[in-house]
Structure 1
């Protein structure tokens, strides 16, 4: 080659020899090899499985999409379930608190009812005891009154016997002394009785006359 250009005997460079042409031809060969390999893989896949590779790929993509969707649904379901569990726990907690409050209120009311019933029974028992004591006191009073009446009756009977004996003695003494005896009223009034003191005074007067 001379300074002014290539010599007449030198061959002109071909497009394949230049770097630019090499860079263009290399990707084309790779694409062709990749296409051949894909066709070979497709053929082997169809021979092995009996399915169209495009249909199988579409089915696989669909399955993966379904799985991804299922996972999303599962995640959403789990999240919703978690929220429901939290709500359920809160509701159960509120229900337990309400039930506990109701149980405490019921226990308080029951305790008040028991206290009121106990106080009522105590009051009734006190009234019964008071009535029993009053009844016993009344019975004792009646017994004492009856005993006093019986004692007075015995004393009155004894005094009547003494008066009768004194009358007989007085009559005998008056008769022996020749003093006339004044007869008693044969028909005394039913409700009028001579007192023992009057009888004793009369007997005393009779005794003085005898002396």
Structure 2
């Protein structure tokens, strides 16, 4: 997939996702020794970039698929994105979340209209239960990263960055499942060979060893 797929996702997200601002950080610029720009997806609807991929994935579902509803697994951000997208598209949503999920994120997911089922200790546990739910009910599984429509939706973040910071040379992307990182590379395609994508993780909570 490439920039054309991300462009298609961007068209679907018109009027849905917020074009979040880019802001500077003097503290980070002092550390980096050069200009640093922050893409403020914390100001996005539902609180993160996850609404982008979830909405694109769900908007492209067929009528019969929509009628069966969706199911997802998440500790918080994807849950809220799926719940909000389902409300906007008039679909039912069930979200499996670990027992230790942050209560504000559980509450927000429910407020968007999704049914939340708590259980298990990890997101992997929640994914198992979500897949079982999909198999038994026919609901469509909305994976947090493993689908090309989700990746294309997440890539719209970097599509906007290219417009907002035309001279960008390095893009740091937080890596969990890899959906945002894959979307970033897709958005760049072969047209921006001078832009490097670097995946980063928190040292104390890395998704991968």
* Bigger Cα Rg: 1
Same fold (TM over 0.5): no
TM-score bracket for this pair, using the shorter chain length? under 0.3
- Which structure has greater helix proportion? 1
TM score, norm. by length of structure 2: 0.16
TM score, norm. by length of structure 1: 0.16
- Which structure has greater strand proportion? 2
Structure with the bigger RCO (C-alpha within 8 Å, sep 6+) is 2
